Amino acid sequence: MLAVLAPLAAPAGGAAELSGYLSFEPRVFFDAPLRPTQPDAGLSPAAVAAPEWRFDAGDGTNRFTLAPYFRVDVDDDERTHADLREAVWLRIGDTWVSRVGVGRVFWGVTESRHLVDVINQTDLVEDFDEEDKLGQPMLNLERWVGPGSLGVFVLPGFRERTFPERTARLSGAVPVAADAVGYESGAGSRRTDLAVRWYGALGGWDIGVSAFHGTSREPRLLPGLDSDGEWRLAPYYDVIGQVGLDVQYTRGAWLWKLEALGRRGHGSDFGAAVAGFEYTSFGIGGSGADLGLLAEYLYDGRGPGAPPTLYDDDWFGGVRLALNDAAGTAILGGVIVDGNTVLGILEGERRLTGTWKLEAEVRWFRGSDADDPLLAGFRRDSFATLRLAWYF
């Protein structure tokens, strides 16, 4: 594949740069599946290609970025997918910065849940943790306002959330039928959404204030019968309005974090928040390594008219160890607890050479329907992923 793409890496004029990775990432499921229609594949291989080209006009004021993404998964045809993560022209003017094309944007400060981060749709087949995002068509204008920057986003076109194949792992107690999508907006997936955010740093404070009006990235999941008489969930995307706040106060070895939102359009108006801290003990024992402790409380006041969430009244606790060694070894362990329902997380990474890297991820589910029916649907889907990646 690299040989095919190589001519793109050296266009005439300007500076071009190619980076990215290829990875092989088998997944191992520890338990037999929940539903009999799910094949019992204990080992599930997958591979990813994620190249990124950047073409710079030369003076640093114009740049075009092209970042496609490809995944092949042996056991999940929905997880086998391609996406255009970025195809965006960045122009840095004297007063305005503009981004036109397909891009990615991140808002927020907390670790266990990205509450206010609303621009990009979640690429849920990538990972359960909702951290992977699909590219979003956008016109973004940004300028300095006071000590920070104000960004306005016009978002033409909507990306549907991806869901695992109906017979695949991690498809929940009742699978989602991705082809039975409904929209509140008469324009369907062609509605143009709007968002705005100001972000700046003031002394020890990092503050982001945002607003969004448009089609919710979170669908409601409406139960129904498909043509074969099987239960399935149909995604339905409402139009919502939302205001968000993300704040971090940093002092000494402490980071204090808050994300909060208020939303209209998903049943009754409701608020949600994530608040917590991150404390790091630096250079432990004279070793140069860091040990961090993280704790966050997650609250979500949504009612039955809103999409379901795992994080209505939960605690997150975690420990992060970064050795700061030549191999960049780091380990993160954590749990999200909701009554008797537990989601355990273990992540580790280590560089093998300058270009190869090994990563491991474990997601461990324990739940009962009474505490959290949504998470309980995954109680047989605990898994470990081993990722061997080659960076170029």
Partner 1 sequence: MGKLMAFGALGLGLVAAAAASASAPLPDPAQPEARGRAIAERADRRDDGFGSSLTRLDMVLENAEGRTRTRRLTWKTLEVAEGDRSLVVFHEPRDIAGTALLSHSRPGGDDDQWLFLPALKRVKRIAAANRTSAFVGSEFSYEDLMPERLDDFDYRWLRDEACGEWSSHVIERRPRYADSGYSKQELWLDREALRLLRVDYYDGRDRLLKTLSASDFRIYQDRYWRAHTLIMNNLLTGKRTRLAFEPFEFGAGLDARDFEPAALRRLR
Interacting residue ranges for partner 1, rule: CB under 8 A:
19, 21, 54, 65, 90, 92, 97, 104-106, 108-109, 131, 144, 147-149, 199-201, 204, 206, 248, 250-255, 278, 280, 282-283, 286, 288-290, 322, 324-328, 351, 354-355, 357, 389, 391-392
Q: How far apart are CA 100 and CA 62, in angstroms?
A: 11
Query: Considering the complex, what minimum distance in angstroms separates the CB of residue 145 from partner 1?
Result: 10
CA distances from 146 to 105, 118, 143 (A): 21, 24, 10
Q: Residue 6: phi, psi to the nearest 5?
A: -55, -40
By beta-carbon proximity to partner 1, the closer residue of 82 and 327 is 327
By beta-carbon proximity to partner 1, the closer residue of 206 and 314 is 206
Query: Considering the complex, what minimum distance in angstroms separates the CB of residue 258 from partner 1?
Result: 13
By beta-carbon proximity to partner 1, the closer residue of 32 and 145 is 145
By beta-carbon proximity to partner 1, the closer residue of 60 and 223 is 60
By beta-carbon proximity to partner 1, the closer residue of 199 and 315 is 199
State the Rg of the chain over Cα. 22
- Residue identified by tokens 């795992």 is 310
Cα atoms in the Cβ-side hemisphere of radius 13 Å centred on 267: 12
Query: Considering the complex, what minimum distance in angstroms separates the CB of residue 201 from partner 1?
Result: 5
Instruction: Quote the distance between the C-alpha of residue 277 and its chain's center.
Output: 21
Query: Considering the complex, what minimum distance in angstroms separates the CB of residue 111 from partner 1?
Result: 10
By beta-carbon proximity to partner 1, the closer residue of 33 and 108 is 108
Is there a contact between 194 and 105 (Cβ–Cβ < 8 Å)? no
Q: How far apart are CA 129 and CA 348, in angstroms?
A: 15
Query: Considering the complex, what minimum distance in angstroms separates the CB of residue 308 from partner 1?
Result: 25
Which two structure tokens, joined as six digits, stand for 90?
Answer: 């960045």
Q: How far apart are CA 259 and CA 272, in angstroms?
A: 8
Please tell me whether residue 359 adopts helix, strand or coil conformation: strand
Nearest to 79 by CA among 177, 147, 169: 169
Query: Considering the complex, what minimum distance in angstroms separates the CB of residue 298 from partner 1?
Result: 19
Query: Considering the complex, what minimum distance in angstroms separates the CB of residue 224 from partner 1?
Result: 36
Find all residues with CB under 8 Å of 142, minimum gap 6, and list them.
96, 97, 98, 99, 149, 150, 151, 152
By beta-carbon proximity to partner 1, the closer residue of 83 and 238 is 83
Query: Considering the complex, what minimum distance in angstroms separates the CB of residue 390 from partner 1?
Result: 9
By beta-carbon proximity to partner 1, the closer residue of 175 and 208 is 208
By beta-carbon proximity to partner 1, the closer residue of 108 and 334 is 108
Query: Considering the complex, what minimum distance in angstroms separates the CB of residue 311 from partner 1?
Result: 19
Beta-sheet pairing, 15-24 with 356-366: unpaired
CB atoms within 10 A of CB 95: 6
CB atoms within 10 A of CB 32: 10
